[in-house]
Chains A and B, each alone.
Chain A
């Protein structure tokens, strides 16, 4: 099987899985509880008010029609209306909350992988020593700590006692983005603007990658890097486009990631502020995930360090750090990549708790907030979004993996 047919097969396989996922969520939220409206009001509203809400949300239809409407809405990117009095569009709310979660997720993953590789390599180099033992215990303990407990401890120490970092939120209220934003007063121009930006970004990434390939003559890393950067920019294009589409002509930020937006704006003060708010939440989430990466790196390195090519590199008189990081560690890259994909679901679960701990205005807090309001249509929307997100990330990782390791395809 060549790469193209693998991708096609993988995408086709995803369709029944997503359909199943949607049906499961529909079953849980709409069918099992009987009547979500009754649950929402806890039987404390008049019959008219409940009938009105059912009609507005389309919950008065027979179940199979509701199911069809629900699937049809999803195809248009429409997750329905919230049960809150404003009846806001759930898709819109999710898309405005998503960048916050994405930003937290990206930095947490970087921290987790960074800590994981660093400590994992150290542990494997000092196999069965005190250092190895301490690092292994650290990895196990970090996994057993509820992520919100860790968050609260960090909050208590570094924010409330030492005042180094803010106690919660995403940025100072006055610094909410208002600088370089796109205004879509006329949709065609607005769309073009976003598209041009995203395209340029993708192009720049690509050119840089080509340059690196030429100069360094390293196939493996550059290929992976190239593909992931392309995937990133493609994802960005899709995001910008759908955000534009769903928010239909409203203000959006360039990326919605404050650390990147502030740099694009050239506003260093805002960047520093954004980072200060980001440190504790991403450290919390990153630490929780790092345990898995420590263990993975350690076991992979232990296997690799005994292989002949590592001995050969040593024999040629290369520096030990070069042998470890340039030769041995490169073999651990594939499992780490796979693990990053597998841990994405775990990351999102952790993000819900971390966001609640730090009042981080992302998707997780949105979900928790909606739970407290008994807003079942919004809960359904958020859960579906999480599910599809994970499915897409897994798809991308699988394809990347197949690209990097041809054995998978056969």
Chain B
């Protein structure tokens, strides 16, 4: 499963990297196709054109970078925010732990997309803003997993031994606990990639995407909705399938990894 996921994800990444060189037309140039637009797939335009007369194949080849950027950045933000808070709060315990748990829980209970929409609507367009608003939604899941792991590992005898031999709190936390927390964070992060991609697509769909002048699968899908009554299936189908594949790829990797790391499921 992990292999299939890895193949899908890496081929999409490669596709997006080489996209700008191999795409037959400029993905953002309008009216590269003669009217009528949108036109169905033809020899000149293998995946058809959209309402603006843009070539869908070129847009497909170049459109992945927005999704990948947003997903990567949001996972990175989650990592930077969620992991340290989880580590320090749960290792320190007491008031700090209680307060941060309550704060994280109330974020966690909030319907994710609604929160992301609210933040994105306030912050305006842009890849970084989108990534930030998605990150806020998923930080609590990092915090939770780190916290539960730290609480268990803290009590294990090897950390006890480290402490007894005079290691400082920081050393225990970073040298002895962190390395054992990392595998579960990696699993959460991979699954998170899929969620971030779907949330990014959702944000774009409600009109909070990156904008018209950057090729983006989410944007193409959103535009395709208006064209549905005319039966223009090609405008939504291809970018939609790409998003599904990307999300599916990450989900498969995540599932494979978690099965690898928690052998209980094998039985």
Contacts and interface: CB of A to CB of B under 8 A. Distances in A.
A160 B117 contact: no
A71 to B, nearest CB: 16
B150 interface: no
Contact of A20 (B103, B205, B225): B103
Given A152-B240, A379-B121, A353 B206 contact: yes
Nearest to B112: A349
A152 B105 contact: no
B109 interface: yes
B236 A352 contact: no
Given A33-B122, A146-B198, A156-B233, A390 B109 contact: yes
Residue from B103, B112, B115, B123 with most neighbouring chain A CB atoms (10 Å): B115
Nearest to A161: B231
A98 interface: no
B111 A345 contact: yes
A408 interface: no
Given A24-B107, A140-B252, A148 B102 contact: no
Contact of B229 (A39, A167, A368): A167
A140 B240 contact: no
A141 B228 contact: no
Interface residues of B, number: 43
Contacts of A145: 240, 244, 247
B194 interface: yes
Contact of A149 (B121, B122, B240): B240
A372 B209 CA distance: 12
If over half of A's interface residues share one DSSP class (helix, strand or loop), that class is named, otherwise mixed; here it is: helix
A17 interface: yes
Contacts of A33: 122-123
B22 interface: no
Interface in A332-365: 345-346, 348-350, 352-353, 356-357
B251 A143 contact: yes
Given A146-B244, A149-B240, A349 B114 contact: yes
Contacts of B225: 148, 152, 357
B231 A390 contact: no
A380 B119 CA distance: 10
B3 to A, nearest CB: 15
B195 to A, nearest CB: 10
Contacts of A146: 198, 201-202, 205, 221, 240, 243-244, 247
A142 to B, nearest CB: 10
Interface in A12-37: 16-18, 20-21, 24-25, 28-29, 32-33
A387 B111 contact: yes
Nearest to B205: A148
A156 B235 CA distance: 12
Nearest to B199: A349
Contacts of B233: 156
Contacts of B114: 348-349, 352, 367, 382-383, 386-387
B224 interface: yes
A144 B247 contact: yes
Given A21-B106, A356-B205, A368-B207, A152 B224 contact: yes
A141 B109 contact: no
A155 interface: yes
Contact of B122 (A18, A28, A357, A386): A28
Given A144-B251, A383-B118, A149 B236 contact: yes
A352 B115 contact: no
A200 interface: no
A160 B229 contact: yes
Residue from A28, A145, A148, A367 with most neighbouring chain B CB atoms (10 Å): A148
Contact of A28 (B119, B231, B244): B119
Nearest to A345: B111
Residue from A17, A146, A391 with most neighbouring chain B CB atoms (10 Å): A146
A371 B208 contact: yes
Contact of A352 (B103, B201, B206, B224): B206
B26 interface: no
A152 B251 contact: no
A32 to B, nearest CB: 6
Interface in A277-323: none
A84 to B, nearest CB: 16
A3 interface: no
B102 A141 contact: no
A394 interface: yes
A148 B221 contact: yes
Nearest to A23: B106
A357 to B, nearest CB: 7
Contact of B205 (A18, A161, A353): A353
A238 interface: no
A161 B106 CA distance: 45
B83 to A, nearest CB: 21
A387 B225 CA distance: 28
Given A17-B105, A383-B115, A372 B207 contact: yes
Nearest to B208: A371
18 contacts: A17-B102, A17-B109, A18-B106, A20-B102, A24-B107, A29-B118, A140-B252, A160-B228, A167-B229, A348-B113, A356-B205, A371-B117, A371-B207, A382-B114, A383-B114, A386-B111, A387-B114, A391-B109
Given A21-B109, A24-B107, A144-B251, 13 more contacts: A18-B106, A21-B110, A143-B251, A152-B236, A152-B240, A156-B231, A345-B109, A349-B112, A352-B114, A353-B202, A368-B207, A376-B121, A383-B115
Interface of A: 16-18, 20-21, 24-25, 28-29, 32-33, 39, 140-141, 143-149, 152-153, 155-156, 160-161, 167, 345-346, 348-350, 352-353, 356-357, 367-368, 371-372, 376, 379-380, 382-383, 386-387, 390-391, 394
Closest 7 CB pairs of A and B: A349-B113, A144-B247, A345-B111, A149-B240, A144-B248, A20-B106, A146-B201
